[in-house]
Structure 1
């Protein structure tokens, strides 16, 4: 069985291996021992913290195979972005140039640097190791964050964002960055990307153009990737779109990948989820529906997905196996939050 739980100090080696495997463009997990350790410690502090609203908390979870003990994936949530370290985006808009006397009317897209998402919550750091990229595991790893947020909504903003990885080649070079590098910077995209992952964003305010950029002045290659995602990111984007996330014109400063957003209460998983006390059976046969379930804890948060679950909508009764209850850390009569991950 696979179980999601908050990261712990003894997960460091596994987290570092995931950081190595994630490659270029995965800025939330830089291959840096000090920063990875700091992420683990921050997450441990966050789940132990009593909060009245979103602040500088970061929640990092790991997906563990209970049979082998292996850590096979990660997923994370930032409670409020841009509060201590600025979060920059380009906002894409349209500028109109009109001369009635010449009968000329031109609409030109522009990119303006902004901090409009300051204070929003962000889902991030989603990575699943290659051998486990099958079945429902990736879908579970993405959607289960919304159960945690629904259960503990006081810890998060009403607006949730997700920054999607933009287009880059196998060497980590971005067509959009190449244009910026030529005119404003003198460093390669992987280096800039790495600096952001390290939290060093000073160079952005120092070197990034302060005025709006006219999109039609960019190279054709740079224009073509604005708002587009890396091939490996397309499944993740489609999943978020099904959840109700929308792209409202905000893109990453370096690779021009889209940032999508949704209101927490409008997210499909949140709206579909139910809370119900459990009844435990020693054995349950596989059912037609696979359910994702989580307990109501924070530091001891646990979540699983299983088809050995029976739910009676009319009686509002949920039966789970003894193994599932033990993995979730719940007892007879305890409440869990759950949703249908898949039906066949």
Structure 2
């Protein structure tokens, strides 16, 4: 059985193994570093957040996808409650600047890059990685969309704006055309080093060395301009999932690889608008449906979610097997939060 829950310290070795697997996918996945100390600190932050021991500038939730049959962690995803409150959160805002002269009959609109802190205080989706061997049976969508269901259940802990930084383009050798054309001129390090420092919390330090005046996009080489707001091929499926839940590109890109930032109002998320609370009815025989559903117990400190294809009844009840109810730690008559994995056109 596959189940999503909060990360715990017993998961550290498995999470570290996933970080090593992520490293095999190439440079650019910065939020899951191959560093046990940093990963352990992420787990501690989750525990402290759930216990109410931290302010929102340090609050974070790290989720794991567990294969209970194999007894191992096969995926991770996370939410940062509010970015940029402890160290500045930087990205580039793509803006337009008009150059005009009536005397010369010239009117030209040029794209510019402005160093921005506009997303300070936003909640952020991050740290999504699934073991390649488990990229089947909708596990990837399950692991990603669980975060939306958690936000829907506990909106009071999150900000009104939600963002997600998408990995930008780099080739198989880790070469980033955008970094080579811009960031490389301001730092004595290659993209891999800058990318790693960003992932372990040094992004603000590096960003402070970036030029603060507008940068004209037209002055960059063609190769760099071509990848602005482009999602890395390996990240396109993840971006598509987020966009299906209500996030979209609004003109902000990463300062290192120019990957797009997706964003949405929390109130506009599909999970917030469409998830519903149903009562559990335990039954021996369950009729299966083609539609799959995320089902969560809505227990803040002991959060668990399953992906099931039980057919919903016409009333306010959800039939579940005893095994499913036990996995979710719910009993007959308890309420669970339910959301279709995919948006239903006739909803």
The secondary structure found in structure 2 opposite 1:86 is coil
Alignment match, 1:225: 227
1:264-343 to 2 correspondences below 5 Å = 264-307=266-309, 309-313=310-314, 315-342=315-342
Determine if contact 1:76/1:125 at 8 Å carries over to the other structure: yes
| Distance change (3 Å), C-alpha of 1:162 and 1:206 | closer
**TM norm structure 2:** 0.94
The secondary structure found in structure 2 opposite 1:288 is strand
Alignment match, 2:45: 42
Moved more, 21-30 or 119-128: 21-30
Alpha-carbon distance in 2 for matches of 1:8, 1:291: 25
Moved more, 25-34 or 71-80: 25-34
Determine if contact 1:77/1:123 at 8 Å carries over to the other structure: yes
Compute the displacement of 1:182 (Å): 4.2
Compute the displacement of 1:340 (Å): 1.5
Specify which of 26, 29, 35 is matched with residue 26 of structure 1: 29
- Superimposed CA distance per residue, residues 212-248 of structure 1 (whole angstroms, 9 cap, x where no aligned partner): 1100111111100000000011111112222221111
Alpha-carbon distance in 2 for matches of 1:246, 1:301: 28
The secondary structure found in structure 2 opposite 1:82 is coil
1:123-134 to 2 correspondences below 5 Å = 123-134=125-136
The secondary structure found in structure 2 opposite 1:311 is coil
Alignment match, 1:56: 58
Determine if contact 2:45/2:58 at 8 Å carries over to the other structure: no
Alpha-carbon distance in 1 for matches of 2:154, 2:210: 37
The secondary structure found in structure 1 opposite 2:89 is coil
Alpha-carbon distance in 1 for matches of 2:28, 2:184: 20
Alpha-carbon distance in 1 for matches of 2:300, 2:135: 27
Determine if contact 2:184/2:190 at 8 Å carries over to the other structure: no
Alpha-carbon distance in 1 for matches of 2:138, 2:184: 43
The secondary structure found in structure 1 opposite 2:201 is coil
**TM norm structure 1:** 0.95
The secondary structure found in structure 2 opposite 1:197 is helix
Alpha-carbon distance in 1 for matches of 2:198, 2:159: 23
Alpha-carbon distance in 1 for matches of 2:305, 2:116: 36
Determine if contact 1:75/1:141 at 8 Å carries over to the other structure: yes
1:1-344 to 2 correspondences below 5 Å = 1-23=1-23, 24-49=27-52, 54-307=56-309, 309-313=310-314, 315-342=315-342
Determine if contact 2:57/2:84 at 8 Å carries over to the other structure: no
Determine if contact 1:181/1:187 at 8 Å carries over to the other structure: no
Compute the displacement of 1:183 (Å): 2.5
Q: Which runs of 5+ in 1 are unaligned?
A: none
Determine if contact 2:168/2:231 at 8 Å carries over to the other structure: yes
Alpha-carbon distance in 2 for matches of 1:112, 1:21: 35
Compute the displacement of 1:202 (Å): 4.9
Alpha-carbon distance in 1 for matches of 2:183, 2:122: 29
Alpha-carbon distance in 2 for matches of 1:317, 1:48: 31
Alpha-carbon distance in 2 for matches of 1:201, 1:305: 36
Determine if contact 1:65/1:71 at 8 Å carries over to the other structure: yes
| Distance change (3 Å), C-alpha of 1:337 and 1:257 | same
Compute the displacement of 1:285 (Å): 3.7
Alpha-carbon distance in 1 for matches of 2:4, 2:184: 44
- Superimposed CA distance per residue, residues 82-103 of structure 1 (whole angstroms, 9 cap, x where no aligned partner): 1112210000000000001110
Runs of 4+ with >3 A deviation: none
The secondary structure found in structure 2 opposite 1:331 is coil
Determine if contact 1:92/1:111 at 8 Å carries over to the other structure: yes
Determine if contact 1:54/1:157 at 8 Å carries over to the other structure: no
Please report the RMSD computed on the Cα atoms of aligned residues, expressed in angstroms: 1.6
Alpha-carbon distance in 2 for matches of 1:203, 1:189: 15
